Amino acid sequence: MLVSAKDMLVKAEQGHYGVGQFNINNLEWTKSILLTAQELESPVILGVSEGAGKYMCGYKTVVGMVNGMLEELNITVPVALHLDHGTFEGSKKCIQAGFSSIMFDGSALPFEENLAKTKELVHCCDILGISLEAEVGSIGGEEDGVIGAGECADPNECKTINDLGVTMLAAGIGNIHGKYPDNWAGLSFETLEAIRAVTGHTPLVLHGGTGIPDDQVKKAISMGVAKVNVNTECQWAFCDATRAYIEAGKDKEGKGFDPRKLLAPGAEAIKATVKEKMEMFGSVGKA
């Protein structure tokens, strides 16, 4: 059964480790993440962007697929199904479809509007026992066509949003989605410290988990980050492994083209990436 991300993140914040959010794009991807979490006895959050939700035939299909896998694969570790960077409308749709966790990203809206919409969703999610992530200060890079520029969030705005009672807070600390530019200045630990000082024990979320040096991720976790999002690295792993399989001509071997065999190396590559991240975040054995 899907669970809210609240308990796993409260425990992670107290235990000074991070829970990984891995974004999903298809069946193989989802299966790889769930099997790895089970094998490593780690809690896990499956992230779904609005674009990925659309690609996978809508949120109800995603909920059906994930619930089916939890049962058929005997997954017993805590799993949350989380909307990633949702609009207000998308958040409502995912709540109705059966997601157990929502991120409402109002960071591109005027602050007062972000505040009002987050407040409405806090109320709704509280009643339904769904965890809610809010965002303050746009995270850089490209996410479903929206490009931000590695901002640092205003701690006062973080406090105002946090005080609404959100489960977890994503606040820009110089992090960027996707590839980091060569001249990237690194995470702003001063900003993280200032945010932490006014948000208490609310689990903080680090977006853009691909390409941040391990020591910076670990330092951020030691300072209150309890959830780390990874997407691009799994995409690279999946595509590189598939490309290598084709370039080696393996799709032409034996009886010929077999889509299950074609996708198998990508699925294995995702498992390896997820394992490496869970070990680095410290969530292994914490289920």
Q: How far is the CB of 47 from ligand 13P (least distance, A)?
A: 6
Is residue 231 within the footprint of ligand 13P (CB under 6 A)?
Answer: yes
Q: Which helix (H) or strand (E) holds 137?
A: none
- How many whole angstroms separate alpha carbon 81 and alpha carbon 24? 10
Is residue 178 within the footprint of ligand 13P (CB under 6 A)?
Answer: yes
Q: Which of residues 203-222 bind ligand 13P (CB under 6 A)?
A: 207-210
Please say which residue, 45 or 77, places its beta carbon nearer to ligand 13P: 45
Binding mask 89-128 for ligand 13P (x = CB under 6 A): ----------------------------------------
Q: Which of residues 41-70 bind ligand 13P (CB under 6 A)?
A: 47
Closest of 120, 99, 89, 9 to residue 47, by C-alpha: 99
Q: How far is the CB of 4 from ligand 13P (least distance, A)?
A: 18
Please say which residue, 83 or 163, places its beta carbon nearer to ligand 13P: 83
Identity of residue 162:
N
Residues 6 or more apart whose CB falls under 8 angstroms from that of 264 comprise: 28
Q: How far is CA 173 from CA 170, 192, 204, 224, 225, in A?
A: 9, 6, 11, 13, 11
Q: Which of residues 138-167 bind ligand 13P (CB under 6 A)?
A: none
Instruction: State the first-to-last Cα distance of the chain, in angstroms, to the nearest integer.
Output: 14
β-bridge partners, 15? none
Q: DSSP class of residue 145?
A: T
Size of the site for ligand 13P (CB under 6 A): 15
Q: How far is the CB of 248 from ligand 13P (least distance, A)?
A: 27
Please say which residue, 78 or 211, places its beta carbon nearer to ligand 13P: 211
User: Is 154 a catalytic site residue?
Assistant: no
Residues 6 or more apart whose CB falls under 8 angstroms from that of 1 comprise: 67, 70
Q: Active-site positions?
A: 84
Q: Contact positions toward ligand 13P, by CB under 6 A?
A: 23, 47, 84-85, 177-178, 207-210, 229-233
